[in-house]
Structure 1
């Protein structure tokens, strides 16, 4: 443990802990405790519980290895699960996304998104473990739809054996149920190849969505930053900065989805608190450059 900048808070903390500015953003969104329900008063406040959960997210350690200065492992895991079940993580995530969009001068509800998937290895055992022959990986697959800022609109975690097309249908169905004003989604060729337009037709006829495929150029070899698709690739890069997400350690897919939303909650809270996130690799720097170029064209 070491001293970190908590924005004026003199207490000692870990680098993953919330600063005062971040807590000022999150505190009004936390569930209100009903003192009339009775029972024994809580020993640990919400901020300490959140610091403990974020330590696991950022450090990638097992729950039982949470340091003694934080909340006990059983209390941290119990509240992580309780807040997943009662929808707290979903509610906070959606509100922070809406605020961040407003701060960027956009409408709270997006009209376009970008879809992609990521296969990651899993730990020993757990729900929905499969083999992805394309990636030659045993584990799970994360299906994401993000807005044009890279903020998550919908997430689903499945077995790695689930193909992009059935996975895409599942997450687009979730997306359309929540964002009825969404009209356009960009995706890669894995969702609809040149010989098969059924995915595009299904999205148009069933959900009222335009699914636009962004393809690689045939004459380009190696890595290429593709229009629109780089946005969701950058989001995957944001996620795996958290060591708990570098591999899927959760036994339940619902916990995996909650960890992904928690990673985005932390990132969005930092931005709303005025704490900048530095680019750490060439891909993210290129993504930032393209984003700035798009902003200049729109002004």
Structure 2
């Protein structure tokens, strides 16, 4: 009985919001169809982590957003500007009841995560979705910027990043020819990361080479210890769970003490570098991209291009 009452209450709230049509709107074509989007939306809800970073970078604070994959509820590097933003569950489990109470005038999400709840979201407010997330994050930033009426700011954000990666490429000199390896250690699965992932795409944008075994336009591949030789490179970047649970720490130590790992050329040269999983992998947005570039400058002893 209580579940039926809660559902009925949600539908009443959603219907009320849907009837409040925007005074001025334009049609936006997106992954789920065509939506009338209000001009100059003021109360935006964002349902992807990369999108939250995009909005903040564009000078817009969402009234609600899905929480970060790590943090309580936000990643440290975006926590301050989100102090008054309401957490709405995760990308994979959005709390629709709380979302409805925020009375948004625009909801931004992604088909790959929220396709199933698109009808419910659209009943609350105009909803626009990107096709997917991850490697498309720069295109998504420009898309979100267009949707909220800030196309010039979106283009400028990506142009600034491109200028910075180009400057780092030039500052690296011959070091840019190093073949960089990219690996994730996890108790659930250890994977070699190829080029089509957040960190891999940034490395590629700078112009770094990859070892032949990793020079693939793919996301990643799960491997066993027999594949440790494929983790070698002139320099090896690896990451693990940033929360450092006992399980993840034990797993990481197990791999790093394996004779095959110890005998990799990159390890013997002292060029195996642990990096932040949040910054180099899971956050996936423009602030994380610039923080990753900060790391690369520090690792290679370059002057900051900030």
Greater share of residues in strand: 2
Query: Which of the two has higher C-alpha Rg?
Result: 2
Range of TM-score over shorter length: 0.3 to 0.5
TM-score by length of 1: 0.36
Q: TM-score, normalised by structure 2?
A: 0.35
